[in-house]
A and B are shown apart, each in its own frame.
Chain A
Amino acid sequence: MKDKEGTDLERRGVLIWLSRGFLALWAPAAAGVATSFMKAPSAEHRPGERAIHAGTLSSLPIGDARFVHHGNDPVFVVRVSEAQVMAVSAICTHMRCVLKWDKETSTFQCPCHDGSFDRKGNVLSGPPKKPLPQFPAEVRADEIVVHT
C-alpha cells in the first residue's frame, strides 16, 4: 500500500511497531532488575554472618551443651568428647519454639508441645517429625566456631 507521495505505509507501520516493541522490552528488564535487587539475600548468603563464635572449649564440660545466641536462629554446641564438639539448631522443628537443654537426661526439651530430641538432634518423642539441623563446628585455639 502506498500513499500519494509513494511512501510504503506498511513497511513504515512495521518499523514503528518494531521500535515500540523494542522499547517495551525495557519495562520487563527494568522490573526484573528492580525485583531481584529488592529480594533480600537469605541469612545463608551473608558471608559475614556465617561464623558464630560459641565461647571456649575449656569452659564446657564433656557431655554438656551450651546455648549460643545468633539472631533469630540460636544454636546449641555440645561437647561430645575431649576434643569433639557438634552444633545443632536450638529451634524446635515443630513450631519454632526455642529448646531447653536437660542435663540429667542429655536431651533437648521443647517447652511448647513437649517434644524432645537427643543430643545429636534426633526426635525422641512428641509432635516434631524432623530432626534438628546440624552445623559443622570446629575448635580454633580453644574457641568453638560454628559455621551456619
Chain B
Amino acid sequence: METNPEGKRSLLGWLEARVNLTEIASFLSVFGLLPAELDSRKPLRAALREAMSQPLPSYARWPRVLGILSFLLFIFLVLTGTMLAFYYQPTAEQAYPSVTLIARDVAFGTLIHQVHYWSAVLFLLFLGMRVIRFFFQGLYARGREIVWMVAVLTFVAAALADLTGRLLPYDASGYWTTVRAREVTDALPILGPITSFLVGGVGLDSMVLTRYYVLHIAIFPILLLMLFYFHFSSVRRVGMSRLDVAPANRSLRVAMYDLLLLVIFMVGGLMTLAVLFPQPFDAMANPLHTPPDSRPPWYLLAPLALMEALSFLPKFVRGLIPEVVLAVVLFLPFLDRESGSGARRRLFRILGIALLVIWGALSWIGWFLEVRR
C-alpha cells in the first residue's frame, strides 16, 4: 500500500498510483451526475472536493428536471431490459412462451416487466415535454443549436427504441401495432427504405423479429447513450439554461441530495404505476387474424391520419410531409435567427403552437380512424 499525501496508507492511494481515478470519475460524471468539470490532473478526493464546493444555483430543479429524469429512466430501462434479456428468446415460436414465462414463473418477473414498460412510457413522455419546453423558452438560440438538435434526435431515437420494443413479446397488440406502424414508415420516401433495409423485410417472421431485438437492445440504446453524452458535453461548454426565477445559492452537495430525492420519488412512482396500472401481455399474435382495434403507437397516429386524409395525393408526397416537418423542427435554430425586432421569433412561436394543435387534432382523428371503419 502506498501512502497518500496525509501520510496514511489507503486503498484509494494505492489505486490512484496505478490508475487515474479522476479520469474515470470524470467520464462517469459527464452523464449529468456532476454538472461541473473534474480536473483529471488532481487526485480524486481533491478534484471531487473542488467540484462539490462550487456554487450551483438550480440543478435538478423544476423545470430542469425533465432531462435528468429521462436519463435516470434510461438507466432504469437498461437495468430492467438486461434482466428481461436473460429470459427472452427472439424467435417467432419462442418469443411469446418466453415472455409468459417471465410474467408467470419468474420471481418478480411481472414487476420487472411492468417497470420496464412504464419507464419506457415516461421516458418518451418526458423527452417530448423537454423538446416543447426548449421551444417555448427559446432554448435553441445561438450557441445552443447542438443542445436543441440533440434533444429532438433523442426523442426520435427513443421513439424508435419504443417502436422496436413493441414487437418483441409477439403478442397480438404488439404485433398489429407494429404492422400499422410499418404502414406509416414504409410511406416515407427516404427513411422508409432505410427502415425496411434495417429490419430486413416487410413480414414479421423470426428473421425480422431478431433484427428488431438487436435494434432494440443494442443499436438504439447505444445511439441514445451517445446522444446523452453529446448533450452533457455541449451543456458544459455553453452552460445550463438560465431560469427566470432567482436561484437559491446552493452548493453542488445540496443539489446531489435533490437528485437523490428525485430518484426516490421516481422509483416510488414507477412501482405505483406498475402495481396499480399493469399492462399484461395480450394473446399470442396470430398473423392470420387482425384484431379490430389495432392502431400504431401514439406518436405515429398523426402521420397516419395525415396520410389517410390526403389520400388523393401520391404516396411520395404524403410521406414527404412528416419528413419535412421533422426536418424543420430539427433545423429550427438555423431558421429562427434572431432579428432586430423579434417579429420572426413571434412568428415561429405561433407556428409552433399551430403545429402542436394540428398534431393533437390529427392524433385524435388517427385514434378514431379504426372505429369509423
Contacts and interface: CB of A to CB of B under 8 A. Distances in A.
Contacts of A48: 97, 100-101
A34 B82 CA distance: 11
Contact of B105 (A36, A38, A47): A47
How many interface residues does chain A have, given as a range?
10 to 19
A41 B83 contact: no
A37 B204 CA distance: 30
A36 B104 contact: no
Contact of A36 (B97, B101, B107, B260): B107
Contacts of B86: 38
Interface string B77-119: 0000001001100000000010011001111110110000000
A140 interface: no
Contact of B104 (A23, A33, A38, A47): A47
Q: Is the interface of B mostly helix, strand, loop or mixed?
A: helix
A45 interface: yes
B101 A37 contact: no
Contacts of A36: 107-108
A78 to B, nearest CB: 30
Interface in A40-79: 40-41, 45-48
Interface in B322-354: none
A33 B101 contact: no
A45 B105 CA distance: 7
Interface of B: 83, 86-87, 97, 100-101, 104-109, 111-112, 260
Pairs A-B, 10 closest by C-beta atoms: A36-B107, A41-B105, A37-B108, A33-B108, A45-B105, A37-B83, A37-B107, A37-B112, A37-B106, A48-B97
Interface of A: 23, 33-34, 36-41, 45-48
28 contacts: A23-B260, A33-B108, A33-B111, A33-B112, A34-B83, A36-B107, A36-B108, A37-B83, A37-B106, A37-B108, A37-B109, A37-B112, A38-B83, A38-B86, A39-B107, A40-B87, A40-B106, A41-B101, A41-B105, A41-B106, A45-B105, A46-B101, A46-B105, A47-B104, A47-B105, A48-B97, A48-B100, A48-B101
